[in-house]
Structure 1
Amino acid sequence: MCPLFSNLKEILVLSHFEYTRFQRTYRIKLRENSKGSSMPHYRLTYFQLRGRAETARYIFAYHGIKYEDNRIEWSDWPNIKPTLTFRQVPILEVDGVVINQSAAIARYLARETGLAGNTNLEQAQVDAIADTINDFMNLFPWTEKDQTLKQKMIEDVFINNSNLYLDGIENLLGDKMWFVGDSVTWADFHWAVCSITLTNLKADVLCSHPKLLSLKERVEELPSIAIWIKQRPNTVF
């Protein structure tokens, strides 16, 4: 493709992203006004990591929604853990109401902000993709303390499972810009977040999956997401 037209296409695509985001943000404002109240107070609690809270942070960042990013230091965790109902994070507090489970948090925020899919069928597709990504990520031995054994287990996951999952996820994307519909959803955010972790574990894991790599890059090039990535704390996971 001629470079001029290639650049024009990128400009038009980004313009569409911003217009779509404007529409969603406008709908959020209308919903606030119709309720006669302001945006809820959000408090997201997790460790000083991207991990299971980062997809929610992407949703907040994409819409410029203010929230309290409560990051727990490891030294404080033994005292905080017993105070939590299920002894785990992340949790999201919405005006004091607690939501557990990272996927439930992301789905709630996505529905509130127009990132869940435009129809019930699209929402089911988005959820299925995110759940499949989680199935793959949950195969990794995150809690194994023996580092030699842990590395061996990670290698085994990549050898035995990566093609099955990554081929399937890439097939769901196909030649589309986004996983579902004609605009970004939280499933795209979730993939972008998890793919960072995957490439940290195995640098070349996406070399044989160029469409998934391109999707990661498209998400990271969204202006509000790019700003968040630049300013967020730098952590390994």
Structure 2
Amino acid sequence: MAPVYKLHYFNLRTRGEVIRWTLSLAGQEFEDHRVEFPDWPALKPTTPTGQLPYLEVDGKALDQSVTIARFVAREHGLAGKNNWESAQVDSLVDYLRDAAKGFEAYTTAFFTRDPKIEEVKTEFTTKSVVPFLEGLERKLQSNDSGKGYFVGTTPTWGDLAAAHFLDEVVRLNPDALAKTPLLKAHNQRVHELKGIKEWLAKRPETPL
């Protein structure tokens, strides 16, 4: 029998979204259990580590968002075709995690209702993220002149992580990719992938 997947995360994109995209691209059915914030205090003691997300596979729990996405990708052939490609995908994801530190500052400001949130957003989208966008453009260009994907000839979960991150950047600054045309085109390619296109059309709209 096919394994049963159940993802537990808040009713947000943030740390759960790349997992959802990876499951969707894999064609893997899953229960998308979205936890509302008022319900979290009672639910927290029942989770493996008191944190979200975690993924149940046939009742067994796996936590840590990057580990979960990587596991799903490996199970479904989306982590690279050999060890070298897999390492390149991991390198890309680590780079994206560095790039996202500025975005995490924005999310903190959002949840704490920091009156300086607009300053935080501007700092991220026009300054701190810019060198990372340039680096991503170079990474993409180094593989098949940027006409396909970041690693190899088929999409990996690294492409999904990149597209999701860039989506969040563009939400905050619609002109953020104006100087990185390869990234902009790559983002559109990822959005049109079977599974991703359907997921984007049906997912709930959330503030983050």
1:164 corresponds to: 131
* 1:83 aligned onto 2:54: no
* Counterpart Cα distance in 2 of 1:56 and 1:84: 18
Cα displacement string for residues 79-111 of structure 1 (whole angstroms, at most 9, x for unaligned residues): 112333432211111122211111100100000
Q: What SS does structure 2 have at the residue aligned with 1:124?
A: helix
TM-score normalised by the chain length of structure 2: 0.90
The structure 2 residue matched to 1:187, chosen from 126, 151, 158, is 158
> Any stretches of 5+ residues in structure 1 without a counterpart?
1-37
* Counterpart Cα distance in 2 of 1:227 and 1:160: 33
Cα displacement string for residues 36-88 of structure 1 (whole angstroms, at most 9, x for unaligned residues): xx221111001111221111111221232111110011221121123334322
TM-score normalised by the chain length of structure 1: 0.80
* Counterpart Cα distance in 2 of 1:215 and 1:231: 21
1:132 corresponds to: 95
* Counterpart Cα distance in 2 of 1:192 and 1:199: 10
Measured after TM superposition, the shift of residue 169 of structure 1 is 1.0
1:7 corresponds to: none
2:117 corresponds to: 150
1:110 corresponds to: 73
* Counterpart Cα distance in 2 of 1:202 and 1:164: 15
* 1:98 aligned onto 2:61: yes
* Counterpart Cα distance in 2 of 1:190 and 1:39: 26
1:48 corresponds to: 11
* Counterpart Cα distance in 1 of 2:167 and 2:140: 18
Return the letter of the residue paired with 2:133.
Answer: L
Please say if residues 54 and 61 of structure 2, whose CA atoms lie closer than 8 Å, have aligned partners that are also in contact: yes
Q: What SS does structure 2 have at the residue aligned with 1:49?
A: coil
* Structure 1 segment 25-64 matched on structure 2, within 5 A: 38-64=1-27
Indicate how the Cα distance of structure 1 residues 64 and 87 shifts in structure 2: closer, same or farther if over 3 A, else same. Answer: same
* Counterpart Cα distance in 1 of 2:172 and 2:49: 29
* Counterpart Cα distance in 2 of 1:54 and 1:146: 23
> Any stretches of 5+ residues in structure 2 without a counterpart?
none
Max radius of gyration: which structure? 1
Measured after TM superposition, the shift of residue 113 of structure 1 is 0.4
* Counterpart Cα distance in 2 of 1:46 and 1:150: 25
Cα displacement string for residues 144-200 of structure 1 (whole angstroms, at most 9, x for unaligned residues): 314322332232233432221111111000023100001100011111111111111
After superposition, the CA RMSD in angstroms is 1.5
Q: What SS does structure 1 have at the residue aligned with 2:116?
A: helix
Consecutive aligned runs of 4 or more in structure 1 exceeding 6 Å deviation: none
* Counterpart Cα distance in 2 of 1:81 and 1:104: 20
Q: What SS does structure 1 have at the residue aligned with 2:95?
A: helix
Measured after TM superposition, the shift of residue 230 of structure 1 is 0.8
